[in-house]
């Protein structure tokens, strides 16, 4: 495959917690507009890979490039500003806050977090707030949750909370979107909505990576997927090929 540089390039990434190896020479690339599936059994290191890419974890060795720029050593908060948007397996919503507030905190640029600007450049802060609010309402509408804007997040049903986790990530307009088990516990209308929005995001040019145990979801969305176990990438290929692979069926569905 040739063409433009990938949005994400992970190069020989290694990470271990004591004896537990969560990343063992991991190489991954994701292109603009691509939805990459990441599958593997519990404890394979899928979430850890997200944590490495989003800056939560520091790798022991290896490199991470975002839009061609080396970001391996950047602190967590700067990784998001460089364009990594992500959701969490356990959502990690701000539980004392409303849906709208959860979203307003999430743009890449948030001038209101600088006390000097807050007190002296009120105009700039207010303009950013207005823009963020409009963006948040747009995203909530796409997720059919516009009416829930003022509700406290914890008052929403689980499936909707998952969508809010996605909505919050979408406030970051960066080039990479990481979704950690977006469908776990989600059914019915929220399921359809999730699929539609993930597709739209990829179509708009983002690189998306989805961790999911729900294989049919991966099959619907992804042309390419990666199979991981014990921190190692065992197979890469089309979803159909992966599902036919013996390594996967043994490890994933075996016994």
Buried (b) or exposed (e) across 160-185, using 16+ Cβ within 10 A? bbbbbbbbbbbbbebbbbbbbbbbee
User: How many C-beta atoms lie closer than 10 Å to residue 225's C-beta?
Assistant: 28
In the complex, which residues of this chain contact another protein (CB under 8 A)? Answer: 42, 47, 50-51, 54-57, 76-81, 86, 88-90, 92-97, 101-102, 104-113, 115, 118-119, 125, 128-129, 168, 171-172, 180
Q: Give the x/- contact pattern for ligand ATP in 75-114, rule: CB under 6 A.
A: --------------x-------------------------
Q: Beta strands 176-180 and 84-86: pairing type?
A: parallel
| Closest separation in Å from C-beta 77 to ligand ATP | 19
If one asks whether residue 174 binds ligand ATP (CB under 6 A), the answer comes out as no
Q: Which does 55 bind (CB under 5 to 8 A by kind): another protein, Mg ion, ligand ATP, none?
A: another protein
For the purposes of burial, counting CB atoms within 10 Å of the CB of 45, is it exposed (0-12), middle (13-18) or buried (19 or more)? buried
Closer CB to another protein, 106 or 186, in the complex: 106
Mapping DSSP to helix (H, G, I), strand (E, B) and coil, where does residue 169 land?
A: helix
Token pair 């460089």 is at which residue? 82
Closer CB to ligand ATP, 98 or 214, in the complex: 214
- Cβ atoms of residues 5 and 193 within 8 Å: no
Closer CB to ligand ATP, 34 or 181, in the complex: 181
If one asks whether residue 20 binds ligand ATP (CB under 6 A), the answer comes out as yes
Mapping DSSP to helix (H, G, I), strand (E, B) and coil, where does residue 155 land?
A: helix
Widest pairwise Cα distance in the chain = 64
Closer CB to another protein, 95 or 147, in the complex: 95
Name the segment binding ligand ATP (CB under 6 A); options: 15-23, 118-126, 195-203, 243-251: 15-23
If one asks whether residue 17 binds ligand ATP (CB under 6 A), the answer comes out as yes
DSSP state of 206: -
Binding region for ligand ATP (CB under 6 A): 17, 20, 22, 40, 42-48, 89
């Amino acid at each position: 495959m040739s063409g433009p540089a990938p949005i994400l390039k992970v190069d020989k990434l290694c990470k271990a917690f004591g004896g537990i190896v969560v990343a063992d020479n991991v190489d991954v690339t994701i292109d603009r507009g691509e939805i990459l599936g990441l599958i593997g059994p519990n404890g394979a290191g899928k979430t850890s890979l997200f944590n490495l890419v989003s800056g939560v974890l520091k790798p022991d060795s290896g490199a991470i490039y975002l839009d061609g720029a080396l970001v391996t050593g950047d602190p967590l908060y700067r990784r998001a500003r460089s364009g990594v948007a992500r959701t969490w397996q356990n959502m990690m919503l701000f539980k004392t806050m409303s849906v709208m507030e959860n979203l307003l905190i999430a743009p890449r640029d948030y001038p209101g977090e600088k006390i000097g600007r807050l007190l002296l450049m009120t105009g700039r802060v207010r303009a950013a707030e207005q823009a963020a609010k409009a963006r948040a309402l747009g995203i909530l509408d796409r997720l059919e949750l516009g009416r829930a804007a003022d509700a406290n997040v914890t008052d929403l049903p689980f499936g909707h909370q998952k969508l809010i986790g996605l909505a919050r990530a979408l406030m970051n307009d960066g080039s990479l979107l990481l979704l950690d088990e977006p469908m776990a516990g989600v059914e019915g209308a929220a399921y359809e909505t999730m699929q539609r929005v993930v597709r739209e995001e990829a179509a708009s040019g983002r690189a998306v990576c989805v961790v999911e145990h729900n294989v049919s979801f991966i099959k619907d969305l992804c042309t390419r997927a990666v199979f991981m176990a014990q921190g190692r990438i065992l197979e890469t290929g089309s979803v159909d090929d992966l599902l036919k692979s013996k390594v996967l069926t043994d490890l994933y569905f075996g016994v």
